[in-house]
Amino acid sequence: MSGFSVELRELTKVFGTSHGPGNEVVAVRDVNLGIHPGEFFTLLGPSGCGKTTTLRLIGGFEMPTRGEIFIEGEPMSHVPPYRRPVNIVFQNYALFPHLTVAQNVAFGPTIKGVPRAERERRVQEALALVRLPNIGNRKPSQLSGGQQQRVALARALINEPAVLLLDEPLGALDLKLRKQMQSELKHLQQQVGITFIYVTHDQEEALTMSDRIAVMNEGQVLQVGDPVTIYERPSCRFVADFIGETNFLRAQVVGKERDRICLCVAGERVWAGATEEPLREGQEVTLAIRPEKIDLLSAAQANGAALTGVVREVVYLGTDTRFVVILPSGETVVARLQNIGGHGLGEFAAGDRVKLLWAAEDARPLTG
Amino acid sequence: MRDTRSRLLILITPPALLLIMFFVLPMLNMATFSFRQGAFGEERHMWTLAHYREFLRNTAFQRLLGRSIAMAFETSLYCIILAYPLAYFLIFRAGERRVALLTLVLVPAWTSFLLRILAWKLILSSEGLLSGLLQAVGLLAEPKPVLLYSRAAVVVALTYSWLPFVALPIFAALERIDPHLLEAAADLGCPPWRAFLRVTLPLSLPGVVAGFFFVFIPTLGEWVTPALVGGVDGIMYGNIIQDQFVRGLNWPMGALMSLVMLLAMLVLLGLLVWLLKALHVELGDLIG
* A103, closest residue in chain B (CA to CA): B284
Mean pLDDT across the stretch A181-206? 93
Q: Which of A38, A79, A74, A81 is nearest to A56 (CA)?
A: A81
Q: Do A299 and A162 have their domain in common?
A: no
Does residue A278 share a domain with residue A151?
A: no
Cβ–Cβ under 8 Å, residues A307 and A358: no
Is residue A326 very low, low, confident or very high in pLDDT (cuts 50, 70, 90)? very high
Residue type, A3: G
Percent helix, strand, coil in chain A, to 5, is: 25, 35, 40
Give the model's pLDDT for residue A1.
47
Task: Give the C-alpha separation, A62 to A54, whole Å.
Answer: 9
Residue that terminates a domain, selected from A213, A240, A267: A240
What mean pLDDT do residues A141-147 have? 92
Q: What is the 3-state secondary structure (H, E, C) of B89-126?
A: HHHHCCHHHHHHHHHHHHHHHHCCHHHHHHHHHHHHCC
Residue B185 to residue A107, Cβ atoms within 8 A: yes
Using CA coordinates, name the residue in chain B closest to A61: B183
Q: Could you tell me whether strands A320-326 and A268-273 are parallel, antiparallel, or unpaired per DSSP bridges?
A: unpaired
Range of the domain at A70: 6-240
Say how far apart CA B238 and CA B264 lie, in whole Å: 13
Task: Please tell me if residue A85 touches chain B, with a CB cutoff of 8 Å.
Answer: no
Q: What angle is formed at CA A207 by the lines to CA A206 and CA A210, rounded to 5 degrees?
A: 65
Q: Do A107 and B188 touch (CB under 8 A)?
A: yes
Interacting residues of A64 by C-beta distance below 8 A, sequence separation 6+: A11, A12, A13, A28, A57, A77
Are A332 and A193 in a shared domain? no
Angle at A9 between CA A7 and CA A14, to 5 degrees: 120
Cβ atoms of B165 and B82 closer than 8 Å:
no
Q: In what order do the strands lie in the sheet with A307-316?
A: A295-298, A353-357, A307-316, A320-326, A332-338
Q: What is the DSSP letter of A331?
A: -
Q: What CATH number did the domain enclosing A297 receive?
A: 2.40.50.140
In three-state secondary structure terms, A269 is strand
> What is the tens place of the pLDDT at every residue in A214-245?
999 999 999 999 999 999 999 899 999 999 89
Is the pLDDT score of B201 beyond 80? yes
- Does the beta-carbon distance from A82 to B96 stay under 8 Å? no
CATH class given for the domain over B67-109+150-286: mainly alpha
- For residue A272, report the phi and psi dihedrals to the nearest 5 degrees: -140, 160
Domain coordinates in residue numbering, chain B: 67-109+150-286
**Each residue of A89-102: pLDDT tens digit?**
999 999 999 999 99
A247-256 β-sheet, strand order: A268-273, A260-265, A247-256, A284-289, A364-366
Which residues pair with residue A354 across a beta bridge?
Answer: A298, A309
Contacts of A112 in chain B (CB under 8 A): 189
For the cut 60, the answer to whether the pLDDT of residue B147 exceeds it is yes
Interface test with A, best of B187, B190, B201, B283 (most A CBs within 10 A): B187
Among A240, A269, A293, where does a domain finish?
A: A240
Assign B286 a pLDDT band (cuts: 50, 70, 90). very low
Inter-chain touch B186–A82, beta carbons under 8 Å? yes
Q: Is there a contact between B162 and B214 (Cβ–Cβ < 8 Å)?
A: yes
Q: What is the mean pLDDT of residues B268-273?
A: 88
- Weakest mean pLDDT among A204-213, B81-90, B124-133, B154-163: B124-133
> Which residues does A288 contact at the CB level (< 8 Å), separation at least 6?
A234, A237, A240, A246, A247, A248, A363, A364, A365, A366
When scoring A57, A63, A76, A88 by the number of chain B Cβ atoms within 10 A, the one with the most, hence best to mutate, is A88
Q: Taking each helix axis from N to C terminus, what angle separates A116-129 and A175-192, rounded to the nearest 10 degrees?
A: 130
The reply to whether A213 falls in a domain is yes
What mean pLDDT is reported for chain B?
A: 90
Note whether B181 contacts A: Cβ–Cβ < 8 A: yes
Which residue in A107, A155, A165 has the most chain B C-beta atoms within 10 A of its own C-beta, making it the best mutation to test that interface? A107
Residue B197 forms contact with A (CB below 8 Å)? no
Q: How many CB pairs under 8 A join A and B?
A: 62
Q: What angle do CA B158, B60, B41 make, to 5 degrees?
A: 100
Per mean pLDDT, which range of A180-194, B87-101, B171-185, B273-287 is the poorest? B273-287
Whether residue A218 is found in the same domain as residue A288: no
Do A139 and A185 reside in the same domain of the chain? yes
Mean pLDDT of A255-264: 87
Residue in A closest to B95 by C-alpha: A18
Asked if A155's CB is within 8 angstroms of B188's CB, the reply is: yes
Assess whether A258 and A223 both reside in one domain.
no
Q: Are residues A232 and A261 in the same domain?
A: no
- The shortest CB-CB distance from A108 to any of B189, B191, B284 is to B189
Residue A1 included in any domain: no
Split at pLDDT 50, 70, 90, the class of A79 is very high
DSSP conformation class of A292: G
Mean pLDDT throughout A247-270? 89
Give a yes or no: residue A99 inside a domain. Answer: yes
| Cβ pair B180:A82 closer than 8 A | no
Residue A272 maps to a domain: yes
Helices (H), chain A: 51-59, 101-105, 107-111, 116-129, 145-157, 175-192, 203-209, 227-232, 237-242
The number of domains in chain A is 2
Provide the phi-psi class of A72: left if phi over 0, else alpha when psi is between -120 and 50, else beta.
Answer: left
CA distance B233 to B245: 21
Cα gap A245→B66, rounded to integer Å: 78
Residues A73 and A182 in one domain: yes
Q: Which of B276, B278, B244, B279 is nearest to B34 (CA)?
A: B244
Mean pLDDT for A318-324 is: 91
Residue A3 pLDDT > 90, yes or no? no
Q: Report how far residue A177's alpha carbon sits from residue A90's, in angstroms, rounded to the nearest whole number.
A: 17
**Would you state the pLDDT for residue A2?**
59
Q: What is the mean pLDDT of chain A?
A: 91
pLDDT score of A322: 93
Burial code of A191-230, b = ≥16 C-beta within 10 A, e = fewer?
A: eeebbbbbbbbbbebbbebbbbbbbbbebbbbbbbebeeb
Domain shared by A206 and A270, yes or no: no
B183 and A94 within 8 Å at the Cβ level: the answer is yes
Residues B10-19 have a mean pLDDT of 93
Assess whether A67 and A25 both reside in one domain.
yes
Q: Is residue B120 a contact partner of residue B229, using CB atoms and an 8 Å limit?
A: yes
Give A66's strand partners.
A12
pLDDT score for B232 = 87
CB contact under 8 A, A81 and B96: no
For residue range B23-36, list pLDDT tens digits in order.
999 999 999 999 99
Closest to A98 measured CA to CA, from B286, B169, B188, B200: B200
N-term to C-term CA, chain B: 54
> In one letter, which amino acid is B145?
P
Residue B96: list chain A partners with CB under 8 A: 18
Residue A21 has pLDDT above 60, yes or no: yes
Whether residue B284 is predicted with pLDDT greater than 80 in this model: the reply is no
Q: Touching check for B43 and chain A: CB below 8 Å?
A: no
Q: How far is A7 from chain B (nearest CA, A)?
A: 19
Is the CB of A113 inside 8 Å of chain B's CB atoms?
no
Q: A14 to chain B nearest CA, in Å?
A: 19
Domain final residue, candidates A206, A240, A274 = A240
Return the CATH number at A165.
3.40.50.300
With H, G, I as helix, E, B as strand and everything else as coil, classify residue A333.
strand
What pLDDT is recorded for position A17?
A: 66
Contact A81 B183 (CB under 8 A): yes
Does A141 lie at the interface with B, CB-CB under 8 angstroms?
Answer: no
Q: Which of A51, A2, A9, A66 is nearest to A32 (CA)?
A: A9
Contacts of B181 in chain A (CB under 8 A): 94, 96
Could you give the C-alpha distances from A141 to A127, A171, B59, B277, B278, in angstroms and in order? 17, 18, 51, 18, 21
Facing B184 at nearest CB: one of A86, A94, A110:
A94
Model confidence at B288: pLDDT above 50: no
Q: Is the pLDDT of residue B282 over 80?
A: no
Same domain, A207 and A269: no
- Residues A287 and A163 grouped into a single domain: no
pLDDT digits (tens, 9 = 90+) for B60-79: 999 999 999 999 999 999 99
